Every structure is written in C-alpha cells, then in structure tokens.
C-alpha cells in the first residue's frame, strides 16, 4: 500500500513564480506530511531560476527558503525525513 500524499496549505495569495508546482510535487514525496508557503519578501541579489534550499530545523520538520529573481519566500515542511533525505527530495522536485 502506498503512503498517502502530503498536504499543501494555501494561506497566502502571493507566491514566487513557479513555486506551487514544485511544492505540489514535494507533497507527493514519501515522508512529507505538510508543506506551508510563508512570508514573501525581496532581496538585493537576483537568482535567475527557482532555487529551494533547507534553512533551519523546526519542530517536526524544516524551514526552506525559496528564491527566484529578487523574491524570497519561506516554506515550512512537516516531515519525518532527515535533512539529507529532504534535500534529495527537493532536488527530484526541481528537475
């Protein structure tokens, strides 16, 4: 029996371009329970393509940072995966 897909929480109306399809793929990865996009802000530097990296551990998972152009958005992931396993899952979703 396959593991049920995780859940994507829609609590903000604005997201970095291209982020939602990647997060939807992430919710289908084994071990991912909940993915919640957070605050959107601007940075000085510019990243031409979408980048998603693990930032810090939080209770029950990790905080990720998504960047594209000059936009930065926090993403909170509740998961049983280790940081290395989560980073591998993120790489698969960005391909």
Give the tokens for residue 63: 């905080």
Tell whether the model's pLDDT for residue 95 goes beyond 70: yes
pTM exceeds cut of 0.75: yes
Helix (H) or strand (E) holding 63: strand 61-79
**What's the full length of the chain, in residues?**
95
> Does residue 37 contact residue 75 with C-beta atoms inside 8 Å?
yes
Distance CA 62, CA 88 (A): 14
pLDDT band at 1 (very low <50, low <70, confident <90, very high): very low
């Amino acid at each position: 029996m396959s593991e049920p897909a995780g859940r994507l929480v829609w609590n903000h109306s604005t997201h970095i371009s291209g982020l939602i399809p990647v997060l939807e793929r992430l919710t289908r990865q084994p071990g991912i329970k909940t993915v919640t996009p957070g605050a959107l802000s601007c940075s000085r530097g510019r990243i031409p393509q979408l980048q998603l990296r693990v930032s810090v551990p939080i209770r029950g998972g990790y905080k990720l940072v998504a960047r594209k152009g000059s936009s930065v958005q926090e993403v909170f992931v509740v998961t049983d995966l280790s940081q290395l396993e989560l980073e591998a899952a993120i790489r698969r979703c960005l391909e």
